[in-house]
Structure 1
């Protein structure tokens, strides 16, 4: 096969083998052939190419049912590093990870007064990038690329402008921007419970409420679930409607309900507010868990996921104390056999999901994206904004 069709077929073959190795771990050539549907001869050629480029490495042998032992290969963690940036209203976190997404160094900065000040925000990220490079004793040239997770509406390229600015200032060839909610869900799909089932609804509960559908570790859809109606003509919502789910299950809405019950409450988004919501008043907790269970049941009856994963800082706080109640609530209301699981118990989830963005590009092309993706204005030309 020649020309463009041949190049596309070789790219597909590399992508299939590398993606399988990345997510399934050490495998033999025969196992890779079975998993990808490619012939043993094609797999052998691809493996030889990836070995010669140090993208993968051999890791010993496994017992065979007769004949020679099976040589195992795996993704090489030392091939290069990736950067994940998590931007919130208060803080900027910059993490440096190896090719297997194991943390090498991390740096924290206070966010500038306005996140719309892209220049000031990018300066702080560059400072953090230098800090993690020094801590990990690595160089800019060893970094494959960076992913940036920023707060913003679901479905909008909230990180695109910042990613372009960072690419120009940092000299990194690949910088991809995404929404924080999608980054949280991506991390759950790659490293958490969402990667252990087929169709998974990742529910992100923080100040707001969102849902992201993940299937085979790829983001299929994301939605502003918090603005579906939970109670007809219910509590007023910031969007102008009434009865939105977010006002009953989002952290800001629950804090407002606490104010109504107690006559005073910390400001939404404050550290005091977070502390209060990690162990809320029993009456408030019971009410919130009830509304959350009803909301999740309605969502699962519509979307039919095999599993629900609850993440985000508020979601994790609820699962730590009320996971059994939520499971019971879901079992009573859901039409199908859907399970509910706690998300990753780490504050690094969003930046891990962001760091996975350049690896997504690597797996998509089956080789280092810096070598194959042309650039326009410092960003990958023709590469989709919404990376899976």
Structure 2
């Protein structure tokens, strides 16, 4: 039985503003005449909404474009300086905080290194709080126009708690951490600014789907290869998720029965073979001599240099080559599970370690992924590096308040409508190239 349409006039107006804003943001600059067919709204509605958005200075002129035999048409765009966004990447080795304008141009950044003993919740909350204040001060912008802060974290994000998002980061040493409540108490946010928490692999996926290699693709998997591995799965333009946001824990699927012990405590997880931490550990076990104090990025650079020396007179280290090839095979086998289960059109490999390794192992990863997967889905998938670089997690985190802003029709104080729109979901679908 069809559900009755309970949309109010406010809901309809909000949705119309959202449609116009999203078209201008993702496909602009555009003329008023082009907005009608793109949004399905009448010319009268477009004129009214555009006039409203221009009066609010949220939309501005962006020059003119000629028309066939007619008067030039004025172009419009979303004003990038109208508001600011902050994205936070809580990684395994550091907390990165970046401030963006509304067009997601970076205005300021800061990083706080995390030692193994500094992954406690209090330290991370302090780094985020200080980082938010720091980037606002560095860019010398007022806090008032801040739409919100998005935070990408390792682990499962449980939104079922009445106190806000709770994070279960087993490999991070976090057990049911009430991170949202802690951040709301510690971070000085202006009135109207919102706070969002999401798994880091999913924020990476959102960034790639909005602006990178996933743009225009309905079914995709975006892999975060850092100290560990995770994945964002997108089906039909929608992130595969639920209340507990656990689809990203692909790194803890079993690829070797009774295999190596993963840092989560289980045996044979993909992350025990393909994460940078495990990769370096296996190289050490094979005889590599590394400075005990070397961080993961330094150690991974040394491994690549040993396997692929710049000097043509230096022979590749066969042990380093073997470790990388084994990693490529395990990663390919893990990707074959995603291929068989989700039938993605595209798989993107991102994360700091994934981007660093991609030039050396990507061909091998593709070969192993397609050899382990079923032939039909393997033939339709494209596997390639992510396109947004190492800042993709923070960019994706910043899209969380941005998607919420769009879903509310570009109004900071707009409540959720009676149509049950979930702000993040509505903005996400449009950004993935689908009609809202």
Q: Confirm or deny a common fold (TM above 0.5).
A: yes
- CA gap of 1:90–1:253, structure 2 versus 1, over 3 A, is closer
What SS class does the counterpart of residue 201 from structure 1 fall into?
Answer: strand
Residues 1:253 and 2:278 are matched in the alignment: yes
Alignment of 1:339 onto 2:358: no
Aligned residues between the structures: 376
CA shift digits 1:340-379 (9 cap, x unpaired)? 121135332222111222111111111132x2249xxxxx
Verify the 8 A CA contact 1:21 1:74 in the aligned structure 2.
yes
Which residue of the partner structure matches residue 263 of structure 2? Answer: 238
Match of 2:21 among 9, 13, 18: 18
**What is the aligned counterpart of 1:227 among 249, 252, 256?**
252
Equivalent residue, structure 1, for 2:175? none
SS of the residue aligned with 1:59? strand
| CA distance, structure 1, for counterparts of residue 287 and residue 119 of structure 2 | 33
Which residue number corresponds to residue 142 of structure 2? 139
Q: Among 336, 340, 344, which residue is 1:305 paired with?
A: 344
- Shift of the 267–40 alpha-carbon distance from structure 1 to 2, 3 Å rule, reads farther
Deviation at 1:287, TM superposition (A): 1.5
SS in structure 1 opposite 2:257? coil
Distance 2:288 2:128 in 1: 40
Distance 1:177 1:91 in 2: 17
Give the aligned partner of residue 128 of structure 2. Answer: 125
Structure 1: give runs of 5+ residues left out of the alignment: 375-381
Residue 414 of structure 2: aligned partner: 372
The answer to whether the aligner puts 1:284 opposite 2:319 as a matched pair is no
Q: CA deviation at 1:219?
A: 2.8
Per-residue CA shift, 1:329-349, capped at 9, x if unaligned? 444454321001211353322
1:205–1:313 CA contact under 8 A, matched in 2: yes
- The TM-score with structure 1 as length reference comes to 0.86
Inter-CA distance 331–43: structure 2 relative to 1 (3 Å threshold): farther
Report the Cα distance in structure 1 between the residues aligned to 2:7 and 2:216, rounded to whole angstroms: 36
Equivalent residue of 2:100, what SS?
strand
Change in 2 beyond 3 A, CA 1:257/1:190 = same
Say if 2:203 is the partner of 1:177. no
Range moving further from structure 2, 261-270 or 157-166: 261-270
> What TM-score comes out, normalization by structure 2 length?
0.77
CA RMSD between the two structures:
2.9
Task: Return the offset for 1:384.
Answer: 6.7
Q: CA deviation at 1:198?
A: 2.1
Output the CA distance in 1 between the equivalents of 2:325 and 2:137: 48
Q: Distance in 1 between matches of 2:22 and 2:240?
A: 17
Q: Please say if residues 154 and 224 of structure 1, whose CA atoms lie closer than 8 Å, have aligned partners that are also in contact.
A: no
Gaps of 5+ in 2: 1-5, 160-164, 168-178, 242-246, 308-319, 429-436
- Does 2:187 correspond to 1:148? no
Query: Cα–Cα, structure 1 residues 385 and 26, in superposed 2: closer, same or farther, change >3 Å?
Result: closer
CA distance in structure 2 between the aligned counterparts of 1:122 and 1:230, rounded to whole angstroms: 34
Distance 1:295 1:238 in 2: 18
Give the SS at the match of 2:286: helix
User: What CA distance in whole angstroms lies between the structure 2 residues aligned with 1:241 and 1:253?
Assistant: 14
Helix, strand or coil at the partner of 1:93: strand
Q: In structure 1, what is the Cα distance between the partners aligned to 2:181 and 2:28?
A: 35
2:402 and 2:28 mapped to 1: Cα distance?
A: 15
- Quote the residue 2:104 is aligned against: 101
Is contact 1:200-1:213 (8 Å) kept? yes
How far apart are 1:304 and its partner, in Å? 0.7
TM superposition shift of 1:130: 3.3
